[in-house]
Amino acid sequence: MSIDLASGMKRFIAPWALLAGMCSSVADAQPLDDVTLEFQDQGVVATIRLTGPVQYVSHLPQSHGKTLEIFYNRVPGANANEKWADNEVRNSPTSRLIPGFTVTTRDQQSKPKLVIEFSREAEYSVAAGKDNRSLLITIRPDKQQPVSDGPLPLLPIVGPEAKPVAGAALSAAETAALDMNKQGRALMVQGRDALAAKDNEAAVDAFNKLLLLPPNDYTQDAQEWIGVARERAGQDDKAKVEYDLYLRLFPQGAGAARVAQRMAGLSLGGASKLMSTDTKKKQEASLMGFGSISSRYYYGKSKIDSTFTFNGATTTDSISMTDQSMLITSVDASERYRSEDYDARLVFRDVNTRNLLADQPSLNRVSAAYGEFKDRNRNYLLRLGRQSPMGGGVQGRFDGLAGYYGEAEDLRVNAVAGALSDYSQGGVKPKFYGASVDSGMFSVYGINQTVEGTLDRRALGTEFRYFEDKNSVFGLLDYDTYFKAVNAAQVMATSELADYKLSMMIDHRKAPSLSIRNALNGSSTSSIDALLQTMSASSLRDLARSRTAISNMGQIGVMMPFRTNWQVGGDFRISNTTGLPASGTTALEGILAATPGRGTEKGVTGQVIGSNIYTVGDVWSGSVTVNTGSAANGNTFYFYNHTQYKNGWMLDASLQLSSYKDQFGGKTTRKSPLLRGAYRLGEQFYIDVDGGIELINYSGAQSTTKTTRYFYSAGLRWDF
């Protein structure tokens, strides 16, 4: 019978390994780094920064709605195998000029996307960020008033300051919004008084200060009156720029008609920027704290029925178990100080996973804990603590110091030093230091990394960044001078031609990333020092090189509109990963047999996405993927629907069907329906629950396995 079990376990492991991987994903790394707002000439620009490189693919709905879904691809990198967590949430900074919104990660292991939930309908556009780690949402301000055809008053009419309801409990974000309004009104009064005294330069200065504040109740009026102040100062070209910006941002604003009339009367054209450098720009000091605390419980129960056939005898085993019971609590807290000269903040993010199963460990992971100080006048920044990298060849989250001096558009010098915090093998963290220089579209860097005092990585690299309107290109070359080999070379681009969204990526890299620590893969020790006791440094380097494969990948995709509310598109991917030669001669090194390469793997995906089909704010998508390769061939069908209800509930439903045949003739099918409901309780509390079933069937020459898994989760988040 032992032979029967050994034979059967080989077939049993495949679906169970898939199941185990899925169960552990809830405690994976946090993908969201930061969400910021900035008032620019296109509107209010929200920058969503992620902790790793991504490539923007598409979004839906195209230009307006209450729910926005942004699809992207994770870009191969040093930590590409690190799984990103679903259900991570970030809140936007408070602004009364645009709707507030939340950013939630969804489907990170299948079709990665960010779900943006606005507090009310918004008009927006979406584009890739200026680096390969961010996405931009440009939101049109909607603080509008009825259009007036009346003449321009001699002086601004400053509305009363919004006051909270007596006795009402305010969140930190609401308090900060009231503070911004207080500062905005004070500057509006200052500008009005300057116009009354016919000191137009002082009025321009006051309105400029107001426009540099986070968007507030007085931003719209300030945008009109800064044009008036410039016109009265004889700066017709600059006034025209201000008026043009008002009409683009507030086409239905109270002053739209009179602004258009005044603009038509100007004879000179202006090409200067909104925020011209001839006027000193200052910002009143402010201090605000914000964040969220969430807690979510996960439960899963599985039943596995396995049948094995050996020498004509059939054996059936059945296992039933609770495979998941855990409580995950997340804390995201920030404190920010802003003044005319300085911008400083403290950030803390932590995820505590309490495993309620007896044989599973609990863990606590701090993903961010840093202080940051920026001098606006001298153009330097310092950040100390646990943080995500900002480029420069750093290969993951680290504990240390990073900073820069200068403007990236002209010349910026960057420096970084610390220890990687995501590497835990043997409890030893690689230490590194590096420097880089940015100038316009180009940057170059050098980095040196050691582990236990031994050189681990020494690299020179360059990055290229091009960003204009809806087109972007990013390139990377990383060369390890110690291993004398290219560690990574990558080019990715996105473009929008007419209504077609195009994306492409070509990637060549070592897998895993070149490092002396690769010699530990398969070794019986976790210490580089221990290996160096039995071999020379050059032999250790050769061992690490022999345990490092080469991965090549290419991808091209397109999305295009279809009728009014639909998009259709697809992508094609091709990849190849080399095998590894036999390595190691002693038990300490680990004697590993040669492993074959994965051969050429191809994948084709067709996708259709729709919005506002049956109800306002609904999203529908479906896709079919066909994969071919030497190890397995198969296909996957995916369906998803998001629906909003007037009573505040949101409902998501999805269904995934897949079927694969492996190289041994075995067939695996998977069916997984999922239902999720969410509800916002007031302005500060958010609750959601989900549940689903997963059915995995495997049939091979000597065994069959049927896995049935039921799972659910429920969470509560408090925004403060």
Rounded CA-CA distance 180/287 in Å is: 10
| DSSP state letter for 357 | S
Judge residue 335's burial from the number of C-beta atoms within 10 Å of its C-beta, 0-12 exposed, 13-18 middle, 19 or more buried: middle
Distance from chain centroid for Cα 19: 26
CA proximity to 57, closest of 606, 494, 641, 605: 494
Cβ-based neighbours of 120, under 8 Å, separated by 6 or more: 66, 99, 142
- Mean pLDDT computed over 39-65: 83
> What length does the chain have?
720
More confident residue, 388 or 11: 388
Residue 16 above 50 pLDDT?
Answer: no
Place of tokens 């960010």: 114
Per the structure block, which two tokens stand in for 549?
């494969």
Rounded CA-CA distance 172/429 in Å is: 37
More confident residue, 253 or 717: 717
Instruction: Tell me the pairing of strands 632-644 and 32-40.
Output: unpaired
The helix (run of H) or strand (run of E) holding residue 205 is helix 200-212
Residue 289 above 90 pLDDT?
Answer: no
Judge whether 587 and 522 are in contact, CB under 8 Å. Answer: no
Rounded CA-CA distance 283/275 in Å is: 13
Judge whether 636 and 603 are in contact, CB under 8 Å. Answer: no
Judge whether 445 and 391 are in contact, CB under 8 Å. Answer: yes
**Residue 699: Cβ within 10 Å count:** 15
Place of tokens 């040196």: 448
Residue 555 above 60 pLDDT?
Answer: yes
pLDDT at residue 395, rounded to an integer: 87
pLDDT tens across 80-106, in order? 667 888 888 888 877 767 888 889 998
**Residue 564: Cβ within 10 Å count:** 10
Cβ-based neighbours of 524, under 8 Å, separated by 6 or more: 587, 588, 590
Residue 268: pLDDT band (50, 70, 90) is very low
pLDDT tens across 355-402, in order? 999 888 998 989 899 999 999 888 899 999 999 888 889 988 899 999
Rounded CA-CA distance 25/436 in Å is: 35
Judge whether 36 and 47 are in contact, CB under 8 Å. Answer: yes
Residue 167: pLDDT band (50, 70, 90) is low
Residue 21: pLDDT band (50, 70, 90) is very low
Rounded CA-CA distance 27/20 in Å is: 12
Distance from chain centroid for Cα 574: 24
Judge whether 210 and 195 are in contact, CB under 8 Å. Answer: no
pLDDT tens across 597-648, in order? 888 999 999 999 888 888 877 889 999 999 998 888 999 999 999 888 877 7
Judge whether 548 and 510 are in contact, CB under 8 Å. Answer: yes
Residue 425 above 60 pLDDT?
Answer: no
- Mean pLDDT computed over 677-684: 82
Instruction: Tell me the pairing of strands 667-681 and 649-662.
Output: antiparallel
pLDDT tens across 689-715, in order? 999 999 999 998 888 999 999 999 999
User: Can you give the pTM of this predicted structure?
Assistant: 0.75
Q: Which residues of 637-658 are buried (b: 16+ CB within 10 A; e: fewer)?
A: ebebbbbbeeeeebebebbbbb
Three-class SS state of 14: helix
Average pLDDT taken over every residue of the chain: 84
pLDDT at residue 350, rounded to an integer: 92
Residue 353: pLDDT band (50, 70, 90) is very high
Place of tokens 């599973």: 360
Above pLDDT 70, what percent of the chain?
88
Helix, strand, coil percentages (3-state) for the chain, rounded to 5, are 15, 50, 30
Judge whether 35 and 91 are in contact, CB under 8 Å. Answer: yes
pLDDT tens across 273-282, in order? 333 333 333 4
Q: Is 675 left (phi over 0), alpha (psi -120 to 50) or beta?
A: beta
- Mean pLDDT computed over 216-245: 85
Three-class SS state of 524: coil
pLDDT at residue 284, rounded to an integer: 56
Phi, psi of 6 (to 5 degrees): -65, -40
Cβ-based neighbours of 113, under 8 Å, separated by 6 or more: 69, 70, 71, 72, 105, 106, 107
Beta strands, E only, 578-702? 599-611, 619-628, 632-644, 649-662, 667-681, 685-699
Residue 398: beta bridge partners? 387, 420
Residue 18 above 70 pLDDT?
Answer: no
Q: Which residues of 398-434 are buried (b: 16+ CB within 10 A; e: fewer)?
A: bbbbbbbebebeeebebebbbbbbebeebebbbbbeb
Residue 441 above 80 pLDDT?
Answer: yes
Per the structure block, which two tokens stand in for 382?
């310092």
User: What is the amino acid identity at position 683?
Assistant: E
Rounded CA-CA distance 500/496 in Å is: 5
Residue 4: pLDDT band (50, 70, 90) is very low
SS3 string, 93-109, reads CCCCCCCCEEEEEECCC
SS3 string, 127-187, reads EECCCCCEEEEEECCCCCCCCCCCCCCCCCCCCCCCCCCCCCCCCHHHHHHHHHHHHHHHH
Alpha helices in 547-649 (DSSP H): none
CA distances in angstroms from 68 to 91, 124, 498, 507, 574, listed in the order given? 14, 9, 21, 29, 30
